[in-house]
Amino acid sequence: MIKPGKLNDFVLLFVALVLLTSCQSEMQDRTNINSVNKEYSIALTIDEANRLAALPMDCIQNPLPYKSGIVIADSSDLKMPQEHHPAFYGCFDWHSAVHGHWSLVYLLKKFPNLSNSTKIRRMLNENLTEANIKKELDYFDLNDYTTSFERTYGWAWLLKLQEELHTWDDPDAKLWFQNISPLAEHISHAYLEYLPKLVYPIRVGEHSNTAFGLSFAYDYALITKDKDLELRIKESTIRFYGEDQDCPIQWEPSGYDFLSPCLQELDIMRKVLKSIEFEKWSKKFLPELYTGGLNMSPGIIKDRSDGKLVHLDGVNFSRAWCLYGLSNSPYAYSLAETHMNHSLQNIVDGDYAGQHWLASFALYAYKCKSEMK
């Protein structure tokens, strides 16, 4: 039995031991992160940037093949995609054209000495004109069915492009931002109208995934100080996901996934919650991340010429960008690097099925890694 006079000493000793253990644990985490950094050598070098820039350069002004998303309400609606979408008519479909433009903007911004930078600027200047963007905006009012065009995947990438331009002090970027602004504002308002009507989130691994659409739009709202959009996304995110627990990540991926339903949800909740709230929520949502028991291998692709099967390269990159966001977890970092390594060398394979879009996914994963805190 501890004597009363010794109780305070005992308590102080106990507290000191707890603090020492905590510090040692934190130091071990940093050591683990450093060891993981040494194990892998994934970095966006100028050579890698030039390699990846070639992919969107090859497609943003390539009008065919193209998968149109039009719903024809009248025979006059039936036109070639380039007439409806004079800015974003390449790269097989509208959303891929949009994030192809984002890729080139991001690379020009990060690497001023990028090869073919003059040609890239010329292409962007030709596509992102005021007149072209006005016609893109007109398409959303073409008929009763086009108002939901590219909801919310294409919407999210358009806002990501605008966010990238907003943070670049460059004369061309300022002009492109100004030209795109009416379309970005339209999409922001579309989110505000749509989200209150969405009773349940869409939890799939493809385009309509709600968490992905919220995550990119939230980044845009913060950077551009779009307060109405920021608050609407916060409210919707907590309404959709606040009570979620034990996400069945062992069911992932599905055969056509390019997004992880569990990790995309984790990503948006990380952004809208305070750190302490997120830690409490995430330990209930995906406890395996904290125990090191997350059994998650990269997606396997057996035919990269199949436009759906090659989605699994995309899931490897999107998993990586979500995991890089968990910068205090060496385990998550290691998983991210493993997924990046699995697909990086395979996306320049000469087949348009993957080449028209995968560079954007790889580059966004690189971007998230570079922003780790």
Tell whether the model's pLDDT for residue 47 goes beyond 80: yes
- Of residues 360, 342, 335, the one with CA closest to residue 216: 360
Contacts of residue 171, defined as CB under 8 A and 6 or more positions apart, other chains included, come to none
Strand, coil or helix: 45: coil
Cis amide linkage into residue 152, ω under 30° from 0: yes
Higher model confidence: residue 307 or residue 244?
Answer: 244
Q: State phi, psi for 297 to the nearest 5 degrees.
A: -95, 155
Per-residue model confidence (pLDDT) at position 373: 64
Per-residue model confidence (pLDDT) at position 367: 97
Report how far residue 118's alpha carbon sits from residue 230's, in angstroms, rounded to the nearest whole number.
Answer: 36
First-to-final CA distance of the chain? 47
Report how far residue 80's alpha carbon sits from residue 36's, in angstroms, rounded to the nearest whole number.
Answer: 50
- Of residues 236, 278, 230, 285, the one with CA closest to residue 262: 285
pLDDT in tens, 331-347: 899 999 999 999 998 88
| Helices 46-57 and 117-127, packing angle to 10 deg | 40
Per-residue model confidence (pLDDT) at position 41: 59
Tell me the two tokens of residue 38. 């040494």
> With pLDDT > 90 as the criterion, what percentage of the chain qualifies?
76
Per-residue model confidence (pLDDT) at position 203: 97
Task: Please report the DSSP string for 138-180 in residue order.
Answer: HHTTSSTTGGGTTTTHHHHHHHHHHHHHHT---HHHHHHHHHH
pLDDT in tens, 71-97: 888 888 888 999 999 999 999 999 999
Q: Compute the average pLDDT of residues 12-27.
A: 44
Q: Compute the average pLDDT of residues 36-61.
A: 83
Tell whether the model's pLDDT for residue 19 goes beyond 80: no
- Of residues 124, 64, 133, the one with CA closest to residue 93: 64
Q: Compute the average pLDDT of residues 342-366.
A: 90
Report how far residue 91's alpha carbon sits from residue 161's, in angstroms, rounded to the nearest whole number.
Answer: 16
| Helices 330-344 and 311-324, packing angle to 10 deg | 150
pLDDT in tens, 205-242: 999 999 999 999 999 999 999 999 999 999 999 999 99
Burial of residue 48 (number of CB atoms within 10 Å: 0-12, 13-18, 19+): middle
Tell whether the model's pLDDT for residue 33 goes beyond 50: no
Per-residue model confidence (pLDDT) at position 306: 92
Mean pLDDT over all residues of the chain?
89
Please state, as a whole number, how many other Cβ atoms lie within 10 Å of the Cβ of residue 20. Answer: 10
Question: Using an 8 Å Cβ cutoff, are 336 and 323 in contact?
Answer: yes
Task: Specify the pTM.
Answer: 0.88
Report how far residue 284's alpha carbon sits from residue 273's, in angstroms, rounded to the nearest whole number.
Answer: 14
